[in-house]
Amino acid sequence: MRLNLAVVGSICALTLASCSSLTIEHVTYGWPVEVVETVNPANMVVADRYGLTLSLSKIAENEFQDSSALKGTQIRLLRNTEGCYFITGPRFKNVYVFHPDNSRLVKESIIAVSESGLKNPAFNLRPPYVELVDNGIRKLLSSSDIVEEKTP
């Protein structure tokens, strides 16, 4: 059976047209509320609400020089409007910022926020920033740095 060249051309044109770029603009990725989760014995965090599962071994190794240091502790996660994930917890000296990329999170930045370690941190979404609050100290964070800091 031979196909007419005009038919083949039409099929190709329709296929290419359906594969053309479809872009949805003005998407806000931010989570309205931070996620507070306990690190399980496998050193993983599971945030069912957002369908997110991740290992914290590398963060624990970087922050505490012990890949299992976070087991059983609570960590804080928040996704900003650009889609970056902010991660921290009690005793952390830093906030870790990652962007998603093909089933992995890639380090965007590590923001130093406390020389002595955070006590009871909390994240709030304050578009376009993420607010970090800890013991009366308030810091507005971009995905790369502290934008504003206020103490009582």
Task: Report if residue 10 sits inside a domain.
Answer: no
The answer to the question of residue 82 being in a domain is yes
Q: Is residue 84 part of a domain?
A: yes
Q: Is position 55 within any domain?
A: yes
Q: Render pLDDT for 76-111 as a digit per residue (tens, 0 to 9).
A: 999 999 999 999 999 999 999 999 999 999 999 999
Residue 14 lies in a domain: no
Domain contains 114: yes
How many domains, in total, are found in the chain? Answer: 1
2 lies in some domain: no
Model-level pTM?
Answer: 0.84
Q: Residue 21 falls within a domain, yes or no?
A: no
Q: pLDDT tens digits, residue range 4-26?
A: 655 555 555 555 555 578 999 98
Alpha helix ranges (H) inside the chain: 5-18, 57-64
* DSSP SS3 for 61: helix
Domain residues for the domain of 102 are 27-150
